[in-house]
Chains A and B, each alone.
Chain A
Amino acid sequence: QQPVQSPQAVILREGEDAVINCSSSKALYSVHWYRQKHGEAPVFLMILLKGGEQKGHEKISASFNEKKQQSSLYLTASQLSYSGTYFCGTDSSGGYQKVTFGTGTKLQVIP
């Protein structure tokens, strides 16, 4: 079953922060985050494993609440380059390879 992402779309001004949420009805072993720019392929951002630590690089980080079967992606001090559609992918089998993607959150950063 497809995870639910919220919000569906968000517009930010440069420098503002955003949080994208991902929620699953199934128990999760891992959560994968990808970003897709218009007309391009999805690009991997990070993976969060069950029992693992909060991950992040630069100004994009994420958390994983296993008990609530939820993950959140945090974008701080947004840049124009952050624009795109963000997908969470959930793994309910434990193999870390088979991922079910959510419907995406479209993020637009404006000057």
Chain B
Amino acid sequence: DAGVIQSPRHEVTEMGQEVTLRCKPISGHDYLFWYRQTMMRGLELLIYFNNNVPIDDSGMPEDRFSAKMPNASFSTLKIQPSEPRDSAVYFCASSWTGGSYEQYFGPGTRLTVT
């Protein structure tokens, strides 16, 4: 399997612009997670889905952030409008109910908002 795929790997944008991060989970996995990692706050869970349904979005920082999972093989995390404090590495991870609860992380998207 190719593992969790994220795109783009790097994104540089100006404050106020819309940013869309994409994730393709491992085939057969029914859980999908979005994390944000910064030096100050560490690895934070933003939202997670089960069978394409959002289960817990309590980690989403504010209304500027939104996430969707239209089908089992694709999810997006959108920031509109972006701000410099959104600069971070965003990870997508997936897991499956019948597994060992291991989360498989994608390579991450490094977002820089200037």
Contact = CB atoms under 8 A, between A and B. Distances in A.
Interface string B71-108: 00000000000000000000100010000111111111
A103 interface: yes
B91 A97 contact: no
A2 B108 CA distance: 22
Given A97-B31, A97-B95, A98-B56, A43 B105 contact: yes
A41 to B, nearest CB: 4
B34 interface: no
Contacts of A102: 42
A47 interface: yes
A101 B42 contact: yes
B101 A30 contact: yes
Interface residues of A, number: 19
Of A2, A87, A99, most buried by chain B (CB within 10 Å of CB) is A99
Interface residues of B, number: 20
A35 to B, nearest CB: 11
Nearest to B105: A41
B43 to A, nearest CB: 4
B15 interface: no
Contacts, number: 44
A96 to B, nearest CB: 5
B43 A41 contact: no
Of B50, B102, B104, B107, most buried by chain A (CB within 10 Å of CB) is B102
A41 B45 contact: no
Given A101-B44, A103-B42, 12 more contacts: A32-B103, A41-B91, A41-B107, A43-B105, A44-B104, A47-B102, A87-B43, A97-B50, A97-B101, A98-B55, A101-B43, A104-B42
Interface of A: 2, 30, 32, 40-44, 47, 87, 96-104
11 contacts: A30-B101, A32-B101, A41-B108, A44-B102, A47-B101, A97-B48, A98-B45, A98-B55, A99-B45, A101-B45, A102-B42
